[in-house]
Every structure is written in structure tokens, then in C-alpha cells.
Structure 1
Amino acid sequence: MLPHSLTFRLLVPILALALTLGLIGHAAAQNTSAPIQQVLQSQADLIEKSSRRTIEPAIAALRDSDLDAAQLVLEQWLARDMWLRTADGVFVYAEKVDRETLRIYDFATAELVGEAPADDFDQIKPNSGIQALIRSALVKFQLSDPDPATRIAALDSLSRDGNASHLPVLRDSIADEPDADIRARKDRIERLLTITYGASPEARIAAIETVRGDLGVDVRGALNPILATTRHAATTLPEDDNIARVLRPGEDLSEAEAYDLLVATDLAPARLTNDAQRETLQANIVDGAVGGVPVAALDTQSARDRAYAALVVSGDAQPAATASDVTEAVARHVFYDTYAEANPEVTEAAEAAIASIELRVAMSQFIDLSLDALSLASIYFLAAIGLAITFGVMGVINMAHGEFIMMGAYTGYVVQQVIPNYTLSIIVAIPMAFAVTFAAGVAMERLVIRYLYSRPLETLLATFGISIALQQIAKNVFGTQARPLTSPAWLDGQWVINDIIGISNIRIAIFVLALIFLAFFLFLMKKTRLGLETRAVTQNPKMAASMGINPDRVNMLTFGLGSGIAGIAGVAIGLYAKVTSELGADYIVQSFMTVVVGGVGNIWGTLLGATMIGFLQKGIEWLNPSNTLAAQTYMIVFIIIFIQFRPRGIIALKGRAAGD
């Protein structure tokens, strides 16, 4: 006989297990009559089989039951946590405590029932196909979930995998949607689903009309399947098919393609190739003849065709079409494309919608290309405005102008190392870059340029040498790696008008800066003493000197001003491009072209020249997007031709700059 203590220790787990099983049995007995359990019991056979082909009615019964517990059942079923108790067929959901024990929960109350042996339950394991159907059914509950993130996730799912069953539940959720943005998205997805799964052609056509001109990719994704076509061949055109177009062999498709279509649809035998015919004839030579045709006579195609036809009649060769048979068969049949959509009115509405979208796409692409061209033109204008002063006004060919742009960009980089606030650093960098490059320009004019006026070749060589020296100095100081010139956070992102038209905020800022410098330059030249003296020295330096103007001082300040503006342009360009020692070299050619094409010495000419080159380059790149170098080459050739017809540029200037 066992001791009392040992007996007690053995009885405790037995009693606990019995109590747990009793509680589970009691809970099951109570909840067998629960509405959700009744639905599950009515679909028990389908659920137990778990077949992708037969399970849909069971899932639909749960989805459409309007029971609060239906969502829980579907979620647990999807997670493979739904179990069936073998003793009485009650469905529960459970989590594994260990390999032998389950923690049981009731579907009706979502409350913990207790623990039980796993051997008493069968796990319901939906395959991937059934899981996809369950996810589709859960959308009904997710669309009305209190959490906006859940509703958005459901809409994301609908936009990818929506089907006809989702339309009613989506429509029911729209009226009670509290969030305006989510409601607008629900309306949009409802229209797109109606285009594909609408109950009537009228409803689908009405939905198609609402998306005319819409540039969304999802709209084209809904319309394109309607206009998808399949190619057919037949003896006569069918009357009931929605025919997209009738094809003419030799024009819309080749004779070979037409005959291949006949072969694919079993309307004609396979084509007989010359090699296959020759091999068959060689294999059937009997007593010096093939099919009654002497081998010596098989030197023409018609003779070989007769011999092969005789072999087909005797059963020694497979029926096949000769070249003449191909031509004859193609002539006897018709070829046509049919729409995947059977209703002609729906396809007509879809075609009209696609045409309106393509028209708007073309207009949007033109506007987007124009914005890109204006942005590029503003960059070229900023890079060239200083050169318009030094080259256009003073007649100095300054090959180091690009290096002043580079110096301005590096000045901005150095300022950002001292001032970590990007907005403040840019505000400080702009006048600092002007001061640095102004001083460098004055020093260059005093030390080199002043001795080379009216000697363009020597000026070009001297400034070219200076540009190489400045690049090497920049490499020695800053290294060869690109340095970051970071834009403020408020310049991040872009201004998006629609799915096609968009422009970055940095480019907008550069465009605004170009307008500011245009206004500044006009004010400087028209309203200030320096501008008056510069114009006087430009038009007639000797007369200006006789009027008390110091031409040397004016030349020095003008050259410094042009260099300083190049430095500011360097800060702006550095926010958009990589800051390296070669930064200026990337813009020196375009700067000279801008000034020359626009007309030397004229600010409006520089503006027009920058605009012309910007649009020209973007247009060529659009026509030849895969080869940027070729686009630049074509642009240079065009400009050379342009200068042949208008050597003084768009707006010619009279005075020293024009060579008068």
C-alpha cells in the first residue's frame, strides 16, 4: 500500500487534469449552441477536408455571418491555430504549451478554457491557396477596423489582389469611413474594382468614365486587361466575338506568321522545310526513283514536291505544306485580333479612356521636360552670368572661370564644417563665397589679366594654366574624393504635381536664385555708378577716360564682380552636384556657349542663351536617352551651325565686346 503523501502527490495532477477536461467539456457543451459554433458546425465537413476547390462556401459563410467572432475564427484559422476536438467535433483555437499539451480558448467568448492533451484534437492546417481565400475574407473586417493603419493595410491588399467578392464589402465600408483621405482611397479602389468586376456593362462603363485622364498607374492597370487582345485565324470572321482589328497578311503580319497561326490552331499542316523534304526523299529512294519520280529528275522544286506528295499518298511521309500550299492556305483564311473583354461598349469606353490618358501623359511629359529644361537653364545661367561680365563686357577669355565656381562650392563646404546648421551655413556661405572669389578675381586681374588686354590668345593660355593650377591646389587641400555640400532639410524632397510632373526643391531654389541674380545684375548695370562706368568703358574706353572714369579700376572691379558671382553660383551648384576639383570644368564649356549664343555682353542674351541651351540639351537627351555624350555632341554641332548664321548671338551688343 502506498504512503498517504505519495498517494496525494499522484492524485493531484490526475484530479487537475480531470477538472480541466471537465471544464473544457462544460465550456464546449455551453458553446455548442453559440452562433459562431453553429456556423462552424454547418461547414464542418468542408473545413475538415481543407480543399482549395471546395472551401470557399465555408469561408463565405463565416465572412457573411455578421458575427463578431467571425473575424477571430478567420484569423486563427489563417494562423493554423484552429483545432477540432475529435470527441464531439467542437472547434476551438489553441496554443501549444509543449508537444503534448494545448492551451484551449473558446471562439464564442475568446476566453481561456484550460489545458488539454494535444492527442484529443486535430489541427486544421490550411494550405497556401486556402490561406489566400481567408486573407481575402478578412478584408471585410479590416476595412472597418478602428485602427487606421489596419484599414490602410487592407486597402493596400485590395489594390494588389482585389476581386469581385471585395466590391460589396468595400462599398459598405465607405459610408462609415471617418478619415477623408482613407475614404477617398476607398472610393478610388471601388471604381477600379468596378471597372473589372462590375455587375453590369453600364456600371463598368460609368466607372471607366470617372477615370478618364487619370495618370495613375493603377488606372492603366485596370484598363489594359480590358484591351488585351488574342490573335486568331479562321475560315470566316465570327459574328459574336469582340473583334479588335482584322489583320492583312503581308502588311499587319508576315505570311510565315500567318501560317504558323494556322498550324497552331490545327487549320493547316506543318510547313515542309527544304531540309526535311530532302531527308524524307533520300530515305525513300527505291530502284532509282522516289514516289515514281526518277532521282535524276528531282533537280527542280516542283518535281520534289510531286515526289513528296506521292510519298504522303502511299503513307511513307507525313502530310506537310509546301511553299505553294502555304500561300494558298493563307489566302483561304482570315486573321484577326479579339479583345479579352466580350462587351464592345466596355472596350470602346476603355479605348477612349486610354486615349485621354495618353494625351494627358504626353502633355505632362512635355511639361516635365520643360521644367527640367528650365532648371538646367537656370544652372547654366548662374554659371554663365559671371562669365557674361568678364568675357562679354571686358572681352577677356577666362578659362579659369570654372575654377571660381569650384572655389565657391568648396567655400560652402568649409563653412558647413564650422556651422553645422545647414540653413545658417548656406546663408553665411553665399556672401563668404562671393568675398573669396571676388578677392581671387581681383588678384588675378591685377597680377595677370591687366597685362594681357587686347591679346586674346595669351589671355586664354594664361587663364588655362591658372585653371590647372587651381584644380591641383584644390586636390592637394581637399583631396580627390567628392565633398558633401548638404542642403537644408526644407530643400529635401520635390514638388510633385502628378505622377509624371515633379521637380526637386533644390532645383526650384536654384531657379529662384537665378531670377534674383538677374534682377541684381539689371539693377547693378542700370542703377549704380559702377554699372554706368562699366557700360561707358565697354562702349568707348577712351571717351570714358576723358570723362574722369578710371578704366583700370572699372576693369578690376568688373572682373572681381564676375568672379564673385561665379563663387555664389558654385554654392548653388554644389547643393545639386558633387563638389570636386573638376566641378568647374563640367560647366565651363556650357558657360561659354551660353554667353556666345546669347550675345556677348548682354544679360538678356545670356538668359536667352541659357534657356536655349537648356531646352536643346534636354530635348536631345529625351530623343537619345541612352547616350548623354552623344547628346552633348549634337548640341555643340547645333550651336556651331547656329553661330555660322548668327555670329553675334541672339542679341548682338554694340561696343568693345562686339568688336566695333
Structure 2
Amino acid sequence: MRLYSVLFACLVLVAVVFAGPVAGPALAQSATAGSSSDQTSPIQIILQENRWLIEKSSRRTIGPAIAAVATSGLPQARSVLERWQDRALYLRKSDGRFFFAEASGAGGERLIDIATGADTGPATRQELEQLRPNSGVRALIGAALVPFQLTDPDPAVRSGALDAIARDAAPGHLEALRGAIATETDPGLRARKERLERLLTIAYAPDPADRIAAIESFAGDLGVDVRAALNPLVATTRAVAPGAPPGDENIARRLSPGSDALPAAEAYRLLVEAGLARPRISAADKRNALAAHIENGTVAGLPVAGLDSDEARDRAYAALEDQGLVPPTATEAEVQAALDAHVFYDRYAEPDPSVTAAAEAALDAIAFKVGLNQAVNLSLDALSLASIYFLAAIGLAITFGVMGVINMAHGEFIMMGAYTGYVVQQIVPDYTLSILIALPLAFAVTFAAGVAMERLVIRWLYNRPLETLLATFGISVALQQLARNIFGTQARPLTSPAWLDGALHLNDVVSISYIRIAIFVLALLFLALFLFIMRRTRLGLEIRAVTQNPRMAASMGIDPDRINMLTFGLGSGIAGVAGVAIGLYAKVTSELGQDYIVQSFMTVVVGGVGNIWGTLMGATMIGFLQKGIEWLNPGNTLAAQTYMILFIILFIQIRPRGIVALRGRAAGD
């Protein structure tokens, strides 16, 4: 048995020896068949040539490797960059080849040929090195992908590519963008591509005529991107040259040392920085240097007592300089001679004068149009502020005009309305529905509070303005403290609905928030409602009758006390609605009303006491006046308020009854 085993082993050994030369090449061929095409594929060769950069990638060094792939023109370039960016590119440690990889069920990875996309078999994670580019490298890869994405079938991808170019444009994007315009089917994306192509033409086109044409096409365009493209063309740097400026420089202006544009000290500093003159030291440093070299009452052989003038100190310092004891410095005569021997100028960063001339002309046209649009934007701001003041003052105009009551607690009714809106939002989480509920509820709450205040306090103080003012001021303080006790001192949020978020942008200069638009519309609605009540209802007829002649109205069967009560309640209710509107953008605190009580009184007095049209005109005038003063004196709201009050005082001296004078009791007739 043992003999048969030995013979069998010998036969197997002989078979292996004779079969080896035949089977070996076949096995080797089959082992390399799956990789030979990939090993010699152009994309694999490029990656192999840049293997060290890819493995040790950083934002500073990876550029050549990314550029080699992106500019190769190979069909696999985009997929390699995308997989690399997504950290799906792997390096096999055994042979240094690059693969795509997908997770397999066995806990390893399945390798994908980067050239053909074929499955090349499994590999364990220990056999592979995953390439993990950091955020900086991924950003560079993303920039390299932009030209590929410009022609992607997905509009969202093309839009993202345009956003990427707008954020970080490069010279190579220009031709890719031009090539992508002709194939663009989406009108919006085509317009964006054409605009971006013109912007890149300004920055990177080699032909000055193309750049000038692109610049001129943007004359008067208000886009921030246009100004960002044009401003570098007219940017200047200060330079100095001996004799005359170089002939190949695009000079913006020549400067004279000692002028406002170029002080002499700055001019000499330019000479020193350019290595064209010796530095100067300050007088204090010169004195310190002389003091440090006093020996036996002398400095460089000159008596200390004689160093009582600048000339003497200069001579002593020069002597020390000759001995090498102090740093060299320039004298006044040397400074002046150096300034006279050199020319100073500002030069454009853009070397072509025709391009800078076109850019300056375009920027001048843009600046003029920006100024006009800023005036429009300022007017919209003033109009929105006027609508806020009108809402805050309309209730006061009613009570003050009809009843002659100086209600210092009017601001607290605004505050009560804002807190009513806040409470409603705590119960009704839907912001749109809560605002719709809060507006009438705020009117009801403040109407009831106004009626109670009139019945309990105001009715006993008619025709006693000082006592009325003091009483309503006391009520104002009490209501503020009550609000603090209930809601605390922290500001409470009154959140606007989502559809009021953001702003309406007419262009890059003119915009107005949707909340301001809503308040403006609300002010118009209340104006229309007030006019309807006053002119189309019996209550309005009775209010007008009491306003003009209360005794005659009483003789006609109208109850003045009832009209006073309803009028005061109506004015208070409108203040509550104004509080909801104001609370949507202002902080809701117990002091909210105090921020508007002064403006409300000014609006009523300037417009004309008790006249709704006068209140509207007064609010408009104060809104425009305040915004105009703030524009002339930006960042100083207190000064704007002061100037506005002074102007109103002067205005009242000219028109003591306001813009629209009222007939009747409130006017003193």
C-alpha cells in the first residue's frame, strides 16, 4: 500500500512538471486579461502619473492632477472627478491601480474598472486605500467639473454649474460657457449663461474689442455682479518712477507730492519702499540716538549745549552716521531733492487704456442709475414708515379731533393689541390663521378698554385738558406695569406668516419687505373703512355733527355722551389693530407704545387735528422727513429725531392748525 502511494505521488509530480510550461502562460494570460486594458487605458495612465499628488492631496498641490484629468478630453474624465469628489475612488495597494468601488454583501468592496465600468471582482477593505479629499480639494474638483455640468441633461445640474462659475470663475470657464450657450434649451438658463459669458468676457477675453463690447452691453445695469466685474478694471495702485513713468503702463493720474491726494510724507514713504531713497527717522528717535551717544558733554565732538536747533541736531546725527554709530537717515534737503527727482502716479491694474475708459464710462452710467434707484428705494422706505405712523395715529386723530382729549395712554392701546396677537399665537399655532383672528380680537379688546376708560375717567374730565393729560399719563404708566407683571420684561415674539417673509426685490437696489407692504395695504384698508364709516353710516353722521356743533347735535336728538364713548372706543380699537401690525416687525414689550406715541401726536398736529386726510398727509410728511434726515445723517437716529422735531416746531409756527385745518370744536371755533 505504501508502495502504491509513492508511485502515485511520483506520477503527479511528473504531470505538474510537464504541464507547467503549457498551463503557466495560460493562467498568467487569464489573470492579466481583466486588467491589461485598464492598466494601459489613458485615464489610468494619467492617474498613475499623478499618483503621488492624489494620494497626498492638499489644496495647494492637487491642482495639476485635477487639471490633467479635467483637460484630458477623455470620456471617463467626468466620472473619475465625480467619484473622486464623492470619495468613491480607491487605490489598490498591491499594484497601485485606481478603481471605483461599491460595497458588496460580504463586507468588502466590488471593484469597477474606471475605463470600461466593468466589474473586476471583489477586494477586501484591507487591500484598498480609499481616497478621501478634504473640503478644499473637493471644492477644486467641483470647479473642474463645472464645464462638464454646463451641458448636463438635468437643468438643476446646469443651474448649479452656473452658480459655481459665478462664485469662483476661472479663465477656462469662458470657452466652456460659450460652447454651452448654443445647446441650451431652457430660456432662463440660456439668459443666465449669456449674461455670465459677457461677465467672463470682461475679465478673461484676450481680444480688447470683445471686452469693450461686453462692458458697453452692461451700461446702466444695476446688477452687483456687473459692478464686481468692472471695479477691478478701474482699480489703481500708487507707483513712483525716476524721471517719467514707463511707457507701457496705463496711468490713471499723476500726483504732486504735498497735495491733498499725496502728502509729502506718503510720497517719501513710497520712495523708501521702492528702494529709491534713504529712510528718515522721527525727531524723537533722533533725539534719543543723540542722547545715547553723549560723551563728556559732547555728541560726535559737538557740545550738547549747542544742539538747540534742528540744523544742529542734524549735523550731530550726520557725524554719528559717518562714524557708523547710527542708522543712516535723509536730511530735509535730501528728501526734497528725492521728491523733485521722481514722478508719482496712480496706475490701473488693467493694462489696456481703451478697456479702462469703457469700464469708467459704464460705471458712471451705472452710478447715475443707482442714484435714481436709491431715491426710489428711499421713497419706498419713507412710504412704509408713513403707513406705520398713519396706523398708529389714526385712532388718536379720531379721539383728539372729535373729543379734544389728549390721550397719553394711546400708545398702550397699541401695546395691548400687540400682546393680544401674541396670546392668540400661543393658542392658534397657524400663523396666518392666528393673525386673521388677532386683528378683530385686538380691535374688540382695545375697543372695550377704550370704552371703559372713557366711562370711568375721561367723561369726568371734558374741557379740562391738563387734568386729562395727567390722568391718561397715569393710566399709561399703570398699563405698562400691568403688562410687565403679566408678560415679563422680555420681548415676546409676534411671528408673521411664512408668506410675509422676505422682500420684494425690484432690482439689486430697490426692495421692500413683504411685511411693510402688508402694513401699507392695511393702512389703505383702514383709511377706506374710516371714510366709509364717517360718510356712509349713521354713526359717522353723528360723529361729524358732534364734532362741528355738539349743542346743535344734542338738540337734534343725538346723545353726545354716547357718541364720545363710541368715538373713543373706535379710536382705541384702531390703535389695537395697529399694534398687531406693528408687532409683526417690532419687538413686543411693555414699552412698545412709547416708541410711537410722540410720532402719533406729531402726525395728528402736523396734519390737522381730527381730519383723516390731514393725518394721512402728516404721516407722509413725517415719514419722508425722517427718512430724508436719516439718509443725510446715517447711523444717528437720535439726531434725525431731533432735527425732525425742530422742523415740525417751525412748521407749526407757520401753519398752527396743520396741513388741513379742521372746523369745529377741536379747532377751537
Distance 1:490 1:466 in 2: 37
Task: Tell me the equivalent position of 2:257.
Answer: 249
Corresponding residue to 1:323 among 332, 339, 355: 332
Q: Which shifted more, 232-241 or 373-382?
A: 232-241
TM-score scaled by length of structure 2: 0.84
Asked if structure 2 preserves the Cα contact closer than 8 Å seen for 1:212 and 1:353, the reply is yes
Deviation (angstroms), 1:196: 0.9
- Does 1:383 find its partner at 2:396? no
- Show CA shifts across 1:574-608 (max 9, x none): 33333333332322221111101111121111111
Corresponding residue to 2:209 among 197, 202, 208: 202
- Show CA shifts across 1:441-480 (max 9, x none): 2332233222211110111122222223333444444444
- State the SS of the aligned residue for 2:558: coil
Aligned runs of 1:609-624 on 2, under 5 Å?
A: 609-624=618-633
Corresponding residue to 2:510 among 489, 498, 501: 501
Asked if structure 2 preserves the Cα contact closer than 8 Å seen for 1:408 and 1:570, the reply is yes
Q: Kindly provide the amino acid, as one letter, of the partner of residue 380 in structure 1.
A: Y
Task: Tell me the equivalent position of 1:81.
Answer: 89
Q: Kindly provide the amino acid, as one letter, of the partner of residue 616 in structure 2.
A: L
- State the SS of the aligned residue for 2:584: helix
Corresponding residue to 1:174 among 181, 184, 205: 181
Kindly tell me the number of residue pairs found equivalent between the two proteins: 643
Asked if structure 2 preserves the Cα contact closer than 8 Å seen for 1:272 and 1:322, the reply is no
Corresponding residue to 2:228 among 217, 221, 225: 221
Deviation (angstroms), 1:610: 0.8
Distance 1:283 1:556 in 2: 91
Distance 1:482 1:283 in 2: 64
- Does 1:63 find its partner at 2:70? yes
Q: Kindly provide the amino acid, as one letter, of the partner of residue 117 in structure 2.
A: A
Deviation (angstroms), 1:311: 4.9
Corresponding residue to 1:550 among 556, 559, 566: 559
Query: Structure 1's 622 and 21: CA in aligned 2 closer, same or farther, altered over 3 A?
Result: farther
Q: Kindly provide the amino acid, as one letter, of the partner of residue 408 in structure 1.
A: G
Query: Identity rate of aligned residues, in percent?
Result: 65
Q: Kindly provide the amino acid, as one letter, of the partner of residue 214 in structure 1.
A: D
Query: Structure 1's 394 and 319: CA in aligned 2 closer, same or farther, altered over 3 A?
Result: same
Task: Tell me the equivalent position of 2:21.
Answer: none
Q: Kindly provide the amino acid, as one letter, of the partner of residue 153 in structure 2.
A: P
Distance 1:593 1:216 in 2: 39
Query: Structure 1's 90 and 25: CA in aligned 2 closer, same or farther, altered over 3 A?
Result: farther
- Show CA shifts across 1:173-228 (max 9, x none): 22223333333332222222211111211111122222233333322222222222
- Does 1:38 find its partner at 2:42? yes
Deviation (angstroms), 1:431: 3.2
Query: Structure 1's 315 and 466: CA in aligned 2 closer, same or farther, altered over 3 A?
Result: closer
Query: Structure 1's 47 and 183: CA in aligned 2 closer, same or farther, altered over 3 A?
Result: farther
Deviation (angstroms), 1:115: 4.7
Task: Tell me the equivalent position of 1:538.
Answer: 547
- State the SS of the aligned residue for 2:216: helix
Deviation (angstroms), 1:106: 1.7
Asked if structure 2 preserves the Cα contact closer than 8 Å seen for 1:534 and 1:558, the reply is yes
- Show CA shifts across 1:366-410 (max 9, x none): 222221211111111111111111112221111222222233333
Deviation (angstroms), 1:337: 0.8
Root mean square deviation of aligned Cα:
3.9
Q: Kindly provide the amino acid, as one letter, of the partner of residue 519 in structure 2.
A: I
Asked if structure 1 preserves the Cα contact closer than 8 Å seen for 2:392 and 2:600, the reply is yes
Unaligned segments of structure 1, at least 5 residues: 5-17
Task: Tell me the equivalent position of 1:15.
Answer: none
Query: Structure 1's 95 and 515: CA in aligned 2 closer, same or farther, altered over 3 A?
Result: closer
Task: Tell me the equivalent position of 1:636.
Answer: 645
Corresponding residue to 1:107 among 107, 114, 126: 114
TM-score scaled by length of structure 1: 0.86
Asked if structure 2 preserves the Cα contact closer than 8 Å seen for 1:73 and 1:82, the reply is no
Distance 1:653 1:480 in 2: 41
Q: Which shifted more, 281-290 or 357-366?
A: 281-290
- Does 1:590 find its partner at 2:599? yes
Aligned runs of 1:242-641 on 2, under 5 Å?
A: 242-251=250-259, 252-278=261-287, 281=290, 293=302, 296-312=305-321, 318-417=327-426, 419-641=428-650
Query: Structure 1's 546 and 20: CA in aligned 2 closer, same or farther, altered over 3 A?
Result: farther
Distance 2:71 2:457 in 1: 89
Q: Kindly provide the amino acid, as one letter, of the partner of residue 459 in structure 2.
A: R
Distance 1:309 1:507 in 2: 72
Asked if structure 2 preserves the Cα contact closer than 8 Å seen for 1:21 and 1:116, the reply is no
Q: Kindly provide the amino acid, as one letter, of the partner of residue 212 in structure 1.
A: A
Deviation (angstroms), 1:482: 4.0
Asked if structure 1 preserves the Cα contact closer than 8 Å seen for 2:243 and 2:341, the reply is no
Query: Structure 1's 161 and 421: CA in aligned 2 closer, same or farther, altered over 3 A?
Result: closer
- State the SS of the aligned residue for 1:576: coil
Aligned runs of 1:187-198 on 2, under 5 Å?
A: 187-198=194-205
Distance 1:85 1:353 in 2: 58
Deviation (angstroms), 1:498: 1.7
Query: Structure 1's 125 and 477: CA in aligned 2 closer, same or farther, altered over 3 A?
Result: closer
- State the SS of the aligned residue for 2:345: strand
